[in-house]
Structure 1
Amino acid sequence: MKKTYTRRSFLKGLASISLGSLLTTSFGYTYAKYIEPRRLQIVRHTITSKNIPKSFNGIKILQFSDIHLGLSYDLLQLEQLMVTINNLKPNIILFTGDLMDVPNEYPHPERIPPILQRLQAPLGKYAIYGNHDHGGYGTNIYKQAIEDAGFRLLVNEVDTVSMPDKSYIHICGLDDIMLGNPQYEGTLGQLQPNIFSIAMIHEPDVAVKAAPFPVDLQLSGHSHGGQIQIPFYGPLITPPFGTVYPEGMYEVGDSKMKLYVNRGLGTTRIPFRFLATPEITLFTLQKT
């Protein structure tokens, strides 16, 4: 049988060859393994909505994601990250999953909470499960680490962040899509159309399921921005549920729900990043 090739498969094959050639050069290999994974971009966005209370004008929300401790990201980098985040003075800190690459193989999980405890956020620190947090028999290992660090772990839950004038917003978190038990209706169904709501969902592509609910902003990670990108082509490989929305800001559905996909900090499977710089994201709320 004659095998046919689409333009996309041809480009993907060509990109793979080009990447292989790049990474086999001394500079390409060094940059992708040792330089870009240790870079850090601080991405800033202003989120505007009529649902944001006046008392939340100027509130700063910091998102970080996908650390994958154990493969190429170490505790020294984590300590340096804490300093960087605290210097930004966020009011709320959100971690969107994948703390350890393989939790049951990570040698020192007890050393993680004292480092994460250093994060300061007067209105709260929240976290959700990623697929790697459940994987590697890590469900309880991750739960203990993140809660010992002072984070509220949201598993199909909605929490209220309030101001002294009794105005408030909602922050909710779904269990991981791939290895958990997410409850869309039971969680997102609690949100109210006139109350500003943030949904933390590790895998970005399920935004199509979140958009029909009154979610103003979905925050995700998981895709690492493809981790390796090719100029004029984009991400070479993206994970399941991280293919349609690989990085950055989108509007989804008839409601035009905002979706932001953070590129994360660490690496998984292979210890390389190319044109997918690690990031933390700082959102500033503004009422319209």
Structure 2
Amino acid sequence: MTKLQKTLFIAVAVLTACMMSICASLYHAIYIEPGEIAVNYQMIKNKKIPKDMYDVSIVYFTDLEYGKFQDQKRTDALFKKIEELHPDILIFGGDLFDAKYKTTDQDRQAMIDRFAALPASLGKFAVIGEQDLVNEERQTLVYDIYANSQVEVVDNSTRFLGNRSKSGIQLIGLRTDADFNQALANVDDTHYNLLVSHYADHLRNDALKNVSISYALAGNSHGTQILYPILGGYRKYPGNEKLNRDNGANLPFPYYISAGTGCIHVNARLNATPEIVYLIFSR
């Protein structure tokens, strides 16, 4: 074999390997990863967490986007996984249905049954996403589902979360159209304050700079849904243009932006596996 032939052979071998790698990634992104469910376990330690809340668990998941891509099979598998985690507190981060999906009465009842069956003895809560507000009919449907499945919507306000005692933590919920004055009116620095916002960009708001936020959770961006190595995410979503998993920031408090659970625009995920976030308070 001549030197030129060797060079050509190596070049073809490298190109073939690259093509095989790309094909394997595409197959995984389209047929495998969208149906996977990762559980992200986080142990939370903070002096402001009262002893009565030690070992209390919170399951946070967001961006279900039930509809064309997030079908019944995937959704039932997700809720089964959440049920197996047996959280004390459940928090949903918004976007229950895909904006373009035309819901049926069967969809409504099935979603009520799913949420109602989840074992969260210390409470179930939700914040509202932009796709929950696409029109008045959708907004009414989402609030109706929550009302009938014992899920309390935290709209620009706070809720006290306790373990059957007077001590506990505060949950702060922000809408997409955040009213920070209203949401933060009852927040003080004596409590452990858990902030949940559908939009991650809200976490950069100046209103939070002088407020005692202990931890924050957000979603909306689906982890950019397709995250290319080195190149980063394939698109930015409104509400996560300044802050997302591909573009972090130094904030006065720790935060986590979830990759969510469903798909929008395209039924594919790459390096952004659907996830449930499991938090447990520790001494």
TM range (shorter): 0.7 to 0.9
**Is 1:265–2:272 an aligned residue pair?**
no
Question: CA 1:36–1:240 in 2, change beyond 3 Å: closer, same or farther?
Answer: same
My pick for the range that moved more, 153-162 or 210-219, is: 210-219
What's the counterpart of residue 132 of structure 1? 131
**Is 1:59–2:56 an aligned residue pair?**
yes
Using the TM superposition, give the Cα deviation of residue 165 of structure 1 relative to its aligned residue in structure 2, in angstroms.
3.9
What's the counterpart of residue 143 of structure 2? 143
Q: Which runs of 5+ in 2 are unaligned?
A: 1-17
- Kindly indicate whether the alpha-carbon contact (under 8 Å) linking 2:169 and 2:191 is maintained by their aligned counterparts in 1: yes
What's the counterpart of residue 118 of structure 2? 119
What's the counterpart of residue 190 of structure 1? 186
Q: Deviations over 1:121-178 (max 9, x none)?
A: 11101001001111144211111112222211111121111234421211121122xx
Q: 2:240 aligns with which of 239, 242, 254?
A: 242
Whole-Å separation in 1 of the counterparts to 2:212 and 2:60: 21
Question: CA 1:202–1:211 in 2, change beyond 3 Å: closer, same or farther?
Answer: farther
What's the counterpart of residue 89 of structure 2? 92
Q: 2:27 aligns with which of 7, 27, 30?
A: 30
Whole-Å separation in 2 of the counterparts to 1:245 and 1:48: 25
1:50 partner letter: K
Q: 1:73 aligns with which of 53, 70, 75?
A: 70
Using the TM superposition, give the Cα deviation of residue 192 of structure 1 relative to its aligned residue in structure 2, in angstroms.
1.0
Whole-Å separation in 2 of the counterparts to 1:215 and 1:93: 20
- Kindly indicate whether the alpha-carbon contact (under 8 Å) linking 2:57 and 2:278 is maintained by their aligned counterparts in 1: yes
TM-score of the aligned structures, taking structure 1 as reference length: 0.83
Using the TM superposition, give the Cα deviation of residue 76 of structure 1 relative to its aligned residue in structure 2, in angstroms.
2.3
1:236 partner letter: Y
- Kindly indicate whether the alpha-carbon contact (under 8 Å) linking 2:161 and 2:170 is maintained by their aligned counterparts in 1: yes
- Kindly indicate whether the alpha-carbon contact (under 8 Å) linking 2:68 and 2:101 is maintained by their aligned counterparts in 1: no
Aligned alpha-carbon RMSD (Å): 2.3
Using the TM superposition, give the Cα deviation of residue 241 of structure 1 relative to its aligned residue in structure 2, in angstroms.
2.3
Whole-Å separation in 2 of the counterparts to 1:139 and 1:43: 30
Larger Rg computed on CA atoms: 2
Whole-Å separation in 1 of the counterparts to 2:142 and 2:248: 29
Helix, strand or coil at the partner of 1:173: strand
Question: CA 1:27–1:284 in 2, change beyond 3 Å: closer, same or farther?
Answer: same
1:42-53 superposed matches below 5 A: 42-53=39-50
Question: CA 1:163–1:248 in 2, change beyond 3 Å: closer, same or farther?
Answer: farther
Question: CA 1:117–1:66 in 2, change beyond 3 Å: closer, same or farther?
Answer: same
